[in-house]
Structure 1
Amino acid sequence: MTLVQVRRDSLLRHPGFRQLFAGDSASQLGTFVGMTAIPLLAAVTLAATPFEMGLLTTAETLGFLLIGLPAGVWVDRLRKRSLMLAADLVRAGLLLSIPIAWWAGVLTMAQVLVIVLLTSFATVFFDVSYQAYLPALVGRERLLEGNAKLQGVQSCAQIAGPSVAGVLVQFLGAASTVVLTGAGYLVSALCLWRIRTAEQRPPRTGHERLVPQMLEGLRFVVADRPLRAIVACTATANMFSAAAQAVEVLFLTRTAGLSPAEVGMLLAVAGVGGIGAALCAGPIVRWFGQARSIWLLPLLTWPGGLLVPLAGRGWGLVLAGFGLALTGFGVILYNIAQVSYRQAITPDRLLGRMNASVRFVVWGAMPLGGLLGGALGEGLGLTGALWVAMAGQMAGALWVVCSPLRRMRDLPVAGKEAPETALPTA
Structure 2
Amino acid sequence: MPRPQPLPFAFAALHGADQLALAALPLVATLQLGAGPGLTGALVAAQGAAWLLVALPAGVLADRLDRRRLLAGGGLVAALGFALALAAAAHPLLLGLAAFLGAGGVVAAALAAFALLPALVPRQQLPAANARLELGRALATLAAAPLAGMLAARGLPQAGLGLAALAGLAAAALAWRLPALPATRRTDQMGLAAAVAEGARFVRRQPLLRAIALAAIAWNAGFFALMAIAVPLALGPLGLDAAATGLALGAYGAGLVAGALAAPTASRHLPLGQVLLSGPGLSVLGMAGLVLAPGLFTLAACMALLGFGPMLWQVAQTSLRQSVTPAGLLGRVGAVMQVAVFGVRPLGALAGGALAAWAGPAAALWLAAAGFALSLLAVAASPLAPLRTLPQPA
Q: TM-score when scaled to structure 1?
A: 0.76
Question: Which residue is equivalent to 1:422?
Answer: none
Q: Indicate whether 1:329 and 2:308 are aligned.
A: yes
Q: 2: distance between equivalents of 1:54 and 1:397?
A: 29
C-alpha displacement of 1:305: 6.1
Q: Indicate whether 1:201 and 2:183 are aligned.
A: yes
Question: Which residue is equivalent to 1:282?
Answer: 264
Q: Against the structure 1 CA distance between its residues 393 and 113, is the aligned structure 2 distance closer, same or farther, given a 3 Å change threshold?
A: farther
Q: Indicate whether 1:297 and 2:284 are aligned.
A: no
Structure 2: gaps (5+ residues): none
Which of 123, 134, 144 is the matching residue for 1:161?
144
Question: Which residue is equivalent to 1:343?
Answer: 322
Report 1 or 2 for greater relative contact order, CA contacts < 8 Å, sequence distance ≥ 6: 1
Which of 332, 348, 351 is the matching residue for 1:353?
332
C-alpha displacement of 1:339: 0.4
C-alpha displacement of 1:291: 1.6
Q: Against the structure 1 CA distance between its residues 29 and 117, is the aligned structure 2 distance closer, same or farther, given a 3 Å change threshold?
A: closer
Question: Which residue is equivalent to 1:124?
Answer: 107
Q: 2: distance between equivalents of 1:389 and 1:42?
A: 32
Query: Could you tell me which amino acid in structure 2 is paired with residue 115 of structure 1?
Result: A
Query: Could you tell me which amino acid in structure 2 is paired with residue 340 of structure 1?
Result: S
Q: Against the structure 1 CA distance between its residues 374 and 192, is the aligned structure 2 distance closer, same or farther, given a 3 Å change threshold?
A: farther
Q: Against the structure 1 CA distance between its residues 25 and 352, is the aligned structure 2 distance closer, same or farther, given a 3 Å change threshold?
A: closer
C-alpha displacement of 1:343: 0.2
- Among all aligned residue pairs of Structure 1 and Structure 2, give the percentage whose two residues are the same amino acid: 29
C-alpha displacement of 1:123: 3.0
Residues 371-407 of structure 1, C-alpha deviations (whole Å, 9 max, x = no match): 6677678x56996797477446534524524522475
Query: Could you tell me which amino acid in structure 1 is paired with residue 325 of structure 2?
Result: T
Q: 2: distance between equivalents of 1:190 and 1:412?
A: 32
Which of 227, 231, 245 is the matching residue for 2:213?
231
C-alpha displacement of 1:154: 1.8
Query: Could you tell me which amino acid in structure 2 is paired with residue 300 of structure 1?
Result: L
C-alpha displacement of 1:185: 1.3
Structure 1: gaps (5+ residues): 1-10, 419-426
Question: Which residue is equivalent to 2:388?
Answer: 410
Which of 70, 89, 95 is the matching residue for 2:82?
95
Residues 333-412 of structure 1 mapped to structure 2, 5 A cutoff:
333-369=312-348, 379=357, 387=365, 390-391=368-369, 394-395=372-373, 397-405=375-383, 407-410=385-388
Residues 173-230 of structure 1, C-alpha deviations (whole Å, 9 max, x = no match): 53333322222111111111233x1122234458433333222211111112222121
C-alpha displacement of 1:347: 1.3
Which of 117, 140, 161 is the matching residue for 1:134?
117
Q: Against the structure 1 CA distance between its residues 163 and 413, is the aligned structure 2 distance closer, same or farther, given a 3 Å change threshold?
A: same
Q: Against the structure 1 CA distance between its residues 168 and 372, is the aligned structure 2 distance closer, same or farther, given a 3 Å change threshold?
A: farther
Q: Against the structure 1 CA distance between its residues 324 and 132, is the aligned structure 2 distance closer, same or farther, given a 3 Å change threshold?
A: same
Q: Against the structure 1 CA distance between its residues 270 and 229, is the aligned structure 2 distance closer, same or farther, given a 3 Å change threshold?
A: same
CA RMSD of aligned residues (A): 3.8
Q: 2: distance between equivalents of 1:386 and 1:60?
A: 27
Question: Which residue is equivalent to 1:258?
Answer: 242
Report which stretch shifted further, 243-252 or 299-308.
243-252
Query: Could you tell me which amino acid in structure 1 is paired with residue 131 of structure 2?
Result: A
C-alpha displacement of 1:342: 0.2
